Amino acid sequence: MIIINSENIDKVLWILRDAQKAVEATPIVLGRRQVGKYIIRLGSIGFLYNAVSELMERIVAASNMANRLSLKEYSVVVEPERTYITPERLPEIIPPLPRSKPVEPLAEPQAELNMWGCRDITPGYLKFCIGNVEIAYYYGVE
């Protein structure tokens, strides 16, 4: 459950927007990012993005409703299945949302080519070598 008091709504929305931007900026291929003490990996990113977006939508909808009802001081209560506003001043419950920071990029995968006994690669040729003889098949250069 998340409870936000009316005076902190803008601040929480900015923090969520910041988190959303951090998720958006995470490369998909090497999706790994540290948020606080958590490492978020590829696969979690989609869920996290949806969660942050949904939370923002619910808070914005709730605060719009409070404005229409001309409520000045209120609390927004976000539960898993529903969100509501109450004029009661409830103690805030906001999960810690530390600023994200990038983690060291993953090491490039190492690939070793089988040179088939040759010292080098010749563009356009598939070849193998025995001593100083190269047996090559020309497949062309694009």
Partner 1 sequence: MKSLRKVRVSSLNIDETIKRKLIEILGENEIVYLDIVDDRIRIVL
Residues 6+ apart with CB under 8 A from 139: 124, 125, 126
| Eight-class DSSP state of 8 | G
As measured in angstroms, the least distance from the Cβ of 142 to partner 1 is 14
Q: Give the nearer residue to partner 1 in terms of CB position, either 116 or 138.
A: 138
As measured in angstroms, the least distance from the Cβ of 133 to partner 1 is 5
**What span, in angstroms and rounded, lies between the C-alpha atoms of 27 and 22?**
10
Q: Which stretch binds partner 1 (CB under 8 A): 25-33, 35-43, 89-97, 133-141?
A: 133-141
- Determine, following the binding rule CB under 8 A, whether residue 139 of this chain makes contact with partner 1: no
Q: Which of residues 68-127 bind partner 1 (CB under 8 A)?
A: 124-125, 127
Query: Distance of alpha carbon 137 from its chain centroid, rounded?
Result: 46
Q: Give the nearer residue to partner 1 in terms of CB position, either 72 or 119.
A: 119
**What span, in angstroms and rounded, lies between the C-alpha atoms of 130 and 128?**
7
- Determine, following the binding rule CB under 8 A, whether residue 137 of this chain makes contact with partner 1: yes
Instruction: Name the nearest CA neighbour of 106 among 42, 45, 38, 20.
Output: 42
- Determine, following the binding rule CB under 8 A, whether residue 25 of this chain makes contact with partner 1: no
Give φ, ψ of 65 to 5 degrees.
-65, -40
Q: Give the nearer residue to partner 1 in terms of CB position, either 38 or 138.
A: 138
As measured in angstroms, the least distance from the Cβ of 135 to partner 1 is 5
Angle 53-80-47 (CA atoms, 0-180°, nearest 5)?
Answer: 40
**Residue ranges in contact with partner 1 by CB under 8 A:** 124-125, 127, 129-138
